[in-house]
Structure 1
Amino acid sequence: MIKKLRFGSIDARASPIDALCRRRSSALGALPSPLSSAPAAVSGASPADRSDSQAGQLNALTIQVPANASPALGSNRIADWDPGVDFRNDDRFFQIALRGDLDVTDHITLTSISAYEDYRQDAVRDIDGTALQILLLGTQGRIKSFSQELRLVGDSGPLKWIVGANYAKDKANEFQSFDIRNQTNNPIFGIPNVGADLTSTQNSKTLAAFGNAEFEITPDLTLQAGARYTENRRWFNTCSLDNGNGNIAAIIGVVQSVAKGAFGLPAGPVPQVGGCFNLDANYDPGEFRSRLNENNVSWRVGAKYKITSDALIYANVSRGYKSGLFPTVLASSNNQFAPVKQEKLTAYEAGVKASFLDRAVDLTAAVFYYDYRNKQVRSHFIDPIFVVLESVANAPKSDAIGAEAQVVVRPLRGLTLNLSGSYTDSKIKDFIGVNQFGAVEDFSGTRMPFTPEWQGVGDAEYRWSLDPSHEVFVGGSLSYTGASNAFLGADSVGKMVARTLVDLRAGVSGPGDRWKAYVWGRNVTNEKYQNYVMRITDTVIGYSGKPATYGFTLAVNFR
């Protein structure tokens, strides 16, 4: 018998990446929180970004042909970019979502979540760190995504369960324009290598079914188990294009002629002005088409035990997957469009959660071990025309072991101190790939890129009543991120130094924090650091974190 039908909204997010990741997360975690009984509503958002794209900083020179290097490459400016170019972004994102809850019985609820996202990008980026056109990149693209999930949630005494299925359909179109006229690898065969274009289309469909259960053996011991079966189908079409001036077509035509003669291959179509120039196994140009079909079963088993009413211990073992992908790279050979396989992670975790001194102190601590197979890592490949290009590769074996902890202390009314930190020891255990200089290297035994050993955050906030309905608060945080490397191996040009950032805030909040207004300062000590480092043929660039920044925020919660 149908008891009640409810509709409510789910939050819209301004990031398509966040939306896609949230939608694809498996239902193996805790059961959802009690469902809202809000009236029928649809949530949506349509933000836009018109800011300038960020210029990269020149960290190092990796000149391919020193004889062709311009004196401008020796500039000691912190950051530089090509003059006379409009670097404003024109990015737009639209999302609409609908959630409906149907109380089938007093203990079973059917939930439907439908969502549609549309992201468009139009941007020009100078990503070589110089005023030369070593790599001036224009990108236009669009992602359209639809998802539908149905799930049943039940609460039957000691058993809590959830079963469901979801479907997702995504389409991504991208067009990139590369201006590379000032690369030192110029000319090639006496022909100027001034630029090229890339077009690609990816379509994917994902079907999944999942279930999760928690069973209370005793009031203190609970067992948990869940599984998810996923099928993903991905179609990929791409083409490296002559940009209409015929230069790249002529260069590839020379490569094609030499290769066909060396291997005794029959004559075929030749690269055309404005046409595809990527070559297949017979050294014939044309659009590359491929398909990637994958499936997997992710799962989790675990248990939690209450030692006292204020403390519990837990242990989990889980397996998860990250789907494979095709690289969208400018390449002269179809071999370089080959996909990477799905990544598999088996995770082991054990920890404790406890409160002390009448909940004046909360402690959470855990140890973990992550065992990766075919981990997707940023790598490189050697292209006969464009030399060393970035791509993605599978590292057969890698792992990470570590620990994390968080302590929240409330020593007096209104004062909250929060301290958290983690240690991670990560290793590539088995991988032979191409380094950022284009040489084959054995990376076994080296750290994973972008993985600092130590990270920590300390935060303090003090609140006091302004009147019965309003509170004033002041606070600050100190965050530390240890050194790491952006490149595989221990290459010094990819090193990102440790950083310590200080943020401050002060403001006032309304009843129940339904609204708050505050001023803030971020990185108030103006710490200089970089979030990302990459090689662009003749240069290595880094993207800096924001300097000291100050602002005012008014936040309102309408729920």
Structure 2
Amino acid sequence: MKGHVSGPISDTLSYRVSAQTTQAGDWQKSATRDATLGQTSFYQGRVQVLWQPSETMRFTVMANAWQDRSDTQAGQVNALVPQNPLNVDATAALLAQPVTVGRNNRIADWDPGVDYRNNNRFYQFALRGEVDLTQTITLTSITSYSNYRQRENRDIDGTPLQVLLVTPYGDLESFSQELRLTGHSGPVKWIVGGNYSRDIGTEFQRYAIRQQTNNAPVGIPLLLADLTTDTRARTYAAFANADFELTSALTATGAIRYTRSNRNFTGCMRDSGDGALAGTLAVIQFVAKGALGLPPGPVPLPGNCATLDDNYDAGLTNDRLSESNVSWRTGLKFAPDRDFMVYANVSRGYKSGQFPTILASRSFSFQPVTQEKLTAYEVGTKISLADHKVDVSAAAFYYDYRNKQVRGRYLDPIFFTLEKLDNVPKSDVAGGEIQISMRPAQGLTVNLAGSYTDAKIRKYVGIDQLGASVDFANTQIPFTSKWQAVADADYRIPVGADHEISIGSTLTYTGKSNAFLGADPVGALKGRTLLDLRAGYGAQDGSWQVFAWGRNVTEARYQNFILRVTDTVIGYAGRPATYGVTLTTKFK
């Protein structure tokens, strides 16, 4: 349900208030007991106030917030892969669990007696001010503050056993300030400006692992392990952009941006207070120092940091990542008339590096991934045909990546192989896409779109799911299906002078891909075809409308995401067939 109201307060002041909520019941069923999960409870609201004290000044104040009280989704078991089969009791209990993938999108499993209802919320305040300094130059200021809080429980093993139950508590606040000048002079439109942002993120995660097969690597049973991190970042940027009208039909674009970021990180794997994790790391410390002839140092203690540094001393890990880059974009657009346009662009962009939030028994596991560099090449065209009854957009692209950030794995002395972001030295993506919009008859609109993407790793040696070193060169980048297509049809039939019936459907195809590096069979994401249907009745001017809809009406069985953290490979299923009725109305 959603709605909004807007209007003037005075000659210079106006407002808009909007709100929406999504409510739904449980949709998942336990594979081993009479239990359900999956309710949705989401609230969102926004308030905007526009003040125009004069023709040359405009100020907009915005506040928006949301709260998510939905359940976290439980995973389906795709495979049971004990890390330590020598732990006979834990392995036997694990292998007795059902593999639930493919049975039904609703079937999954999770630990009993745990509250999986989220308590996550976000709020943001922003102020945008615009002042026309001259008839051709405008000064714009954008100030914003955002605050996010996460409180939830997640079952990461897909079984009713406590193999891996994670409780992530996190807080993130961000402040940003941007100033820019925009203007035009003859055939040139330009922008120059700068930006500053400050981000502070703190996180606490508790891992409950009492039934994991590797819960006693040195003979001390582990029930819990904690992780604490604090990351603080400051980013500075300066940018400029210009569009040049070389002729009435030909426009050239050039843009450049310099960015400097500094990230400070502190974090450690912390004993929960029962002394088990501290005792485990103390054994590893004693053996390593004796073997390497290292002097005594700080030892792991109950309730304190247990992560071991290069000298196998226990304590908090501190690190810093400073990066800078120059991104840019250049291109040409040729549009001789409103029915035809062709363009070519070349650009370079960066994705900033970051520190991981992972259980790390050794401090080197907290090493950050560095910034990702992308050089993109694209050519395309937009054409209108048959007296604007057919519109065609087509593009071909090539993306050249350096140090692309992917979900890799690393070897931990305690937890064997764990997930971690990693840099792929070289990879690329080549492909094309086309979109066709047709209006072949009165009231009928048909939209067709398709794309082909070939995403390959060209150079990278990493760790596979079983902890072996593998050369992943010439393998597919995870989560990249080669083929995707969408077909949508909408037909509107007039009823009387003021009303209409609408009938529509959407068919979506996503090709197969893989969640893991190297096309590991247990990470295979099958291709899927989803069919959505809708039918409605209402006023032609949109003042009110009621329509019934169905999503995934053919009950296609598929998963959106697959991961392996410890003893199980789990997948998160897409929603099963879902039906509803929507009523919209406008008040004046």
Same-fold status (TM-score > 0.5): yes
Counterpart of 1:30 in structure 2 is none
1:110 and 2:129 correspond? no
How far apart are 1:44 and its partner, in Å?
Answer: 2.1
Counterpart of 1:337 in structure 2 is 366
Q: How does 1:526-541 map to 2 (within 5 A)?
A: 526-541=555-570
Long gaps (5+) in structure 2: 1-11, 22-54, 101-107
Counterpart of 1:45 in structure 2 is 64
Q: Provide the C-alpha distance between the structure 2 equivalents of 1:276 and 1:155, rounded to a whole number of angstroms.
A: 58
Counterpart of 2:98 in structure 1 is 76
Aligned AA (2:401): Y
Q: How does 1:31-430 map to 2 (within 5 A)?
A: 41-67=60-86, 68=88, 69-76=91-98, 78=100, 79-430=108-459
How far apart are 1:510 and its partner, in Å?
Answer: 6.0
Deviations 1:188-242, CA, capped at 9 Å, x for gaps: 2221022210011111111111111111111111111111111111111111100
Q: How does 1:416-455 map to 2 (within 5 A)?
A: 416-455=445-484
Aligned AA (2:561): Y
Q: How does 1:461-472 map to 2 (within 5 A)?
A: 461-465=490-494, 471-472=500-501
Aligned AA (1:107): T
In structure 2, relative to structure 1, the CA distance for the partners of 1:539 and 1:332 (3 Å cut) is: same
The 10-residue stretch of structure 1 (352-361 or 42-51) with the greater mean CA deviation from structure 2: 42-51
In structure 2, relative to structure 1, the CA distance for the partners of 1:216 and 1:429 (3 Å cut) is: same
Q: Provide the C-alpha distance between the structure 2 equivalents of 1:471 and 1:159, rounded to a whole number of angstroms.
A: 47
Counterpart of 1:18 in structure 2 is none
In structure 2, relative to structure 1, the CA distance for the partners of 1:39 and 1:221 (3 Å cut) is: closer
What secondary structure does 2:281 align onto? helix
How far apart are 1:39 and its partner, in Å?
Answer: 7.4
How far apart are 1:73 and its partner, in Å?
Answer: 2.9
What secondary structure does 2:237 align onto? strand
What secondary structure does 2:282 align onto? helix
Q: Provide the C-alpha distance between the structure 1 equivalents of 2:18 and 2:176, rounded to a whole number of angstroms.
A: 15
How far apart are 1:183 and its partner, in Å?
Answer: 1.1
The 10-residue stretch of structure 1 (211-220 or 331-340) with the greater mean CA deviation from structure 2: 211-220
Would you say the 8 A contact 1:7–1:100 is kept in 2?
Answer: no
Q: Provide the C-alpha distance between the structure 2 equivalents of 1:71 and 1:140, rounded to a whole number of angstroms.
A: 29
Q: Provide the C-alpha distance between the structure 2 equivalents of 1:11 and 1:418, rounded to a whole number of angstroms.
A: 30
Aligned AA (1:399): D
The 10-residue stretch of structure 1 (300-309 or 239-248) with the greater mean CA deviation from structure 2: 300-309
Q: Provide the C-alpha distance between the structure 2 equivalents of 1:180 and 1:320, rounded to a whole number of angstroms.
A: 41
Deviations 1:69-93, CA, capped at 9 Å, x for gaps: 0334332252211111111111111
In structure 2, relative to structure 1, the CA distance for the partners of 1:135 and 1:316 (3 Å cut) is: same
Aligned AA (2:507): L
Would you say the 8 A contact 1:56–1:128 is kept in 2?
Answer: yes
Q: Provide the C-alpha distance between the structure 2 equivalents of 1:511 and 1:113, rounded to a whole number of angstroms.
A: 39
Would you say the 8 A contact 1:7–1:101 is kept in 2?
Answer: no
Query: Once the two structures are aligned, what percentage of the paired residues are identical?
Result: 54
Which TM-score applies when normalising by structure 2?
Answer: 0.86
Would you say the 8 A contact 1:497–1:529 is kept in 2?
Answer: yes
Counterpart of 2:35 in structure 1 is none
In structure 2, relative to structure 1, the CA distance for the partners of 1:229 and 1:379 (3 Å cut) is: same
Aligned AA (1:248): L
1:482 and 2:511 correspond? yes
Q: Provide the C-alpha distance between the structure 2 equivalents of 1:13 and 1:113, rounded to a whole number of angstroms.
A: 26
In structure 2, relative to structure 1, the CA distance for the partners of 1:512 and 1:166 (3 Å cut) is: farther
How far apart are 1:486 and its partner, in Å?
Answer: 0.3
Q: Provide the C-alpha distance between the structure 1 equivalents of 2:498 and 2:262, rounded to a whole number of angstroms.
A: 54
Would you say the 8 A contact 1:431–1:443 is kept in 2?
Answer: yes
Would you say the 8 A contact 1:96–1:117 is kept in 2?
Answer: yes
Aligned AA (1:57): Q
How far apart are 1:512 and its partner, in Å?
Answer: 5.9
Would you say the 8 A contact 1:12–1:97 is kept in 2?
Answer: no
Aligned AA (2:71): D
The 10-residue stretch of structure 1 (414-423 or 182-191) with the greater mean CA deviation from structure 2: 182-191
In structure 2, relative to structure 1, the CA distance for the partners of 1:365 and 1:556 (3 Å cut) is: farther
Deviations 1:115-164, CA, capped at 9 Å, x for gaps: 22111111001110111111000111111111122222213232111112
How far apart are 1:98 and its partner, in Å?
Answer: 2.2
Counterpart of 2:49 in structure 1 is none
In structure 2, relative to structure 1, the CA distance for the partners of 1:228 and 1:464 (3 Å cut) is: farther
What secondary structure does 1:63 align onto? coil
Would you say the 8 A contact 1:56–1:544 is kept in 2?
Answer: yes
How far apart are 1:327 and its partner, in Å?
Answer: 0.6
Q: Provide the C-alpha distance between the structure 2 equivalents of 1:246 and 1:513, rounded to a whole number of angstroms.
A: 65
Q: How does 1:484-499 map to 2 (within 5 A)?
A: 484-499=513-528
Aligned AA (2:255): G
Would you say the 8 A contact 1:154–1:160 is kept in 2?
Answer: yes
Would you say the 8 A contact 2:435–2:448 is kept in 1?
Answer: yes
How far apart are 1:520 and its partner, in Å?
Answer: 2.2
Aligned AA (1:44): A
Q: Provide the C-alpha distance between the structure 1 equivalents of 2:268 and 2:110, rounded to a whole number of angstroms.
A: 28
Would you say the 8 A contact 2:271–2:304 is kept in 1?
Answer: yes
Q: Provide the C-alpha distance between the structure 1 equivalents of 2:536 and 2:328, rounded to a whole number of angstroms.
A: 44
In structure 2, relative to structure 1, the CA distance for the partners of 1:544 and 1:305 (3 Å cut) is: same
Aligned AA (2:77): L
Would you say the 8 A contact 1:168–1:205 is kept in 2?
Answer: yes
Q: Provide the C-alpha distance between the structure 2 equivalents of 1:419 and 1:84, rounded to a whole number of angstroms.
A: 47
In structure 2, relative to structure 1, the CA distance for the partners of 1:111 and 1:275 (3 Å cut) is: same
How far apart are 1:462 and its partner, in Å?
Answer: 1.7
How far apart are 1:43 and its partner, in Å?
Answer: 2.3
Would you say the 8 A contact 1:6–1:102 is kept in 2?
Answer: no
Q: Provide the C-alpha distance between the structure 2 equivalents of 1:173 and 1:444, rounded to a whole number of angstroms.
A: 36
Would you say the 8 A contact 1:127–1:541 is kept in 2?
Answer: yes
How far apart are 1:96 and its partner, in Å?
Answer: 2.0
Which one has the bigger strand percentage? 2
How far apart are 1:443 and its partner, in Å?
Answer: 0.2
What secondary structure does 2:475 align onto? coil
In structure 2, relative to structure 1, the CA distance for the partners of 1:554 and 1:121 (3 Å cut) is: farther
Would you say the 8 A contact 2:282–2:299 is kept in 1?
Answer: yes
Aligned AA (1:50): R
What secondary structure does 2:476 align onto? coil
Count of aligned pairs between the two proteins = 534
Q: Provide the C-alpha distance between the structure 1 equivalents of 2:544 and 2:58, rounded to a whole number of angstroms.
A: 22
Would you say the 8 A contact 1:8–1:38 is kept in 2?
Answer: no
How far apart are 1:95 and its partner, in Å?
Answer: 1.7
The 10-residue stretch of structure 1 (313-322 or 497-506) with the greater mean CA deviation from structure 2: 497-506
Q: Provide the C-alpha distance between the structure 1 equivalents of 2:426 and 2:19, rounded to a whole number of angstroms.
A: 37
In structure 2, relative to structure 1, the CA distance for the partners of 1:483 and 1:219 (3 Å cut) is: same
Q: Provide the C-alpha distance between the structure 2 equivalents of 1:293 and 1:12, rounded to a whole number of angstroms.
A: 40
Would you say the 8 A contact 1:307–1:313 is kept in 2?
Answer: no
In structure 2, relative to structure 1, the CA distance for the partners of 1:520 and 1:248 (3 Å cut) is: same
In structure 2, relative to structure 1, the CA distance for the partners of 1:464 and 1:546 (3 Å cut) is: same
Aligned AA (2:471): D
Deviations 1:426-483, CA, capped at 9 Å, x for gaps: 1100000011111110000100000000001111112244576665432211000000
In structure 2, relative to structure 1, the CA distance for the partners of 1:264 and 1:509 (3 Å cut) is: farther
Which TM-score applies when normalising by structure 1?
Answer: 0.91
